[in-house]
Amino acid sequence: MKNIIPLVVAIVLGGVAVFAVSRMIRPAENEREGQYGWVVSAAKEITPKDGPIKETWLMKRRVELASIPAKAIPWTQINRVVGQTSVRAIARNDYVLSSDVAGMEIRLSGALAEGEWAVPVTFSDPALVRFLQPGDEVAILATSVTQEIVPKTDASEQPDVVETRTTSVIFPCVRILDIGKGDAIRRDEDSGGNGTVVVALTPQQSATLIAAQRNMELYPALRRPSDTHALKRRDVGIVTDATFNDKKTGLKSNLEPVMLPDSATNK
């Protein structure tokens, strides 16, 4: 009997340890799973001569969210592919893209991931918009002006109103969904002249962006695809009038004055 008690205690303690470890591992697995998505790929080579695409020709493919092509078809939309014909040869294990399937209705909503909303944003300077493509990633910077009332020593005089201009990043990394006609395809005639694009954001971020457009000037900054740098707002910091005017830490104090020579040969 005395020999059985340590054995029972050991079994109980072992079960508790296994349970605790499993509880620790499960959240990590769920977190990793949230970084992946499922898209449609070809289970066999598919050519235009094969006729209508059958469901058995397609398979589910797990891909990192950052690596999913812009025109990849989510697995939940496989029914949009079945019964259509391909417009090019699709190799086995290759992605099935919306541009590969004839007669497939391309919707902007199909480019959205689960939990994302499509929001239009108009930038104050449209110059960079002309070069953007669906699938590009941009940072959105905002410049705002705040007013501070500074009372004078003489209370009978009107107080001074001091304006401060501040620039910071409100969204470090945003995916471009569309520029042009709402089908997630960029065409040569889509000039982007008005500076408006459609981006993908979470519902909370969508509300923030809409409010920001009413109170701030917004500017895009093109990012390298899947770049892991500067993904937090504090990584970029904030720029104020003091950045350029402060005598101790400002930009002006760190620049050497430029001396113009009398002639091109002077050194």
pLDDT digits (tens, 9 = 90+) for 52-107: 999 999 999 999 988 888 788 888 888 878 888 998 899 999 999 888 888 665 56
b/e string for 148-182 if b means 16 or more Cβ within 10 A?
eeeeeeeeeeeeeeeeeeebbbbbbbbbbbbbbee
In a domain, 243, yes or no: yes
- Phi first, then psi, for residue 212 (nearest 5°) are -65, -35
Asked whether residue 92 falls in the same domain as residue 124, the answer is no
CATH of the domain at 90: 3.90.1210.10
Instruction: Report residue 4 CA to chain centroid gap.
Output: 60
For residue 71, give its domain range: 36-105
Low-confidence ranges of the chain (pLDDT < 70): 1-34, 103-107, 110, 180-194, 246-260, 262-267
User: Which H or E run includes 26?
Assistant: helix 4-33
In a domain, 242, yes or no: yes
Of 47, 77, 105, the one marking the end of a domain is: 105
Residue 227 is encoded by which pair of tokens? 């770049």
In a domain, 10, yes or no: no
Asked whether residue 184 falls in the same domain as residue 231, the answer is yes
In a domain, 237, yes or no: yes
Residues contacting 24, CB < 8 A, separation 6+: none
Residues contacting 238, CB < 8 A, separation 6+: 166, 167, 168
Residues contacting 128, CB < 8 A, separation 6+: 220, 221, 222
Sequence-ordered alpha helix ranges (H) in 119-216: 203-215
Of 76, 105, 134, the one marking the end of a domain is: 105
Q: Is 79 helix (H, G, I), strand (E, B) or coil?
A: helix
Instruction: Give the sign of the dihedral formed by CA 44, CA 47, CA 49, CA 52.
Output: positive
Instruction: Give the sign of the dihedral formed by CA 188, CA 193, CA 194, CA 196.
Output: positive
Count CB atoms within 10 A of the CB of residue 77. 15
Asked whether residue 91 falls in the same domain as residue 137, the answer is no
Asked whether residue 211 falls in the same domain as residue 133, the answer is yes
Return the pLDDT at 232: 87
Asked whether residue 164 falls in the same domain as residue 74, the answer is no
Of 105, 133, 157, the one marking the end of a domain is: 105
Asked whether residue 68 falls in the same domain as residue 153, the answer is no
Whose tokens are 């101790």? That residue is 248
Q: Strand 117-122 relative to strand 101-102: parallel, antiparallel, unpaired?
A: unpaired
In a domain, 7, yes or no: no
Asked whether residue 82 falls in the same domain as residue 203, the answer is no
Angle ∠(71,73,76) on CA atoms, nearest 5: 155
Asked whether residue 76 falls in the same domain as residue 182, the answer is no
Return the pLDDT at 150: 77
Asked whether residue 144 falls in the same domain as residue 98, the answer is no
In a domain, 267, yes or no: no
Number of domains comprising the chain: 2
Asked whether residue 237 falls in the same domain as residue 164, the answer is yes
In a domain, 86, yes or no: yes
Residue 263 is encoded by which pair of tokens? 């002639």
Fill in the DSSP letter of residue 35.
T
Asked whether residue 197 falls in the same domain as residue 162, the answer is yes
Asked whether residue 204 falls in the same domain as residue 165, the answer is yes
In a domain, 150, yes or no: yes
The rounded radius of gyration (Å) of the Cα atoms in the chain is 28
List the beta strands (DSSP E) in the chain. Answer: 36-42, 58-64, 85-86, 101-102, 117-122, 137-150, 160-178, 196-201, 217-222, 238-239
Return the pLDDT at 188: 45
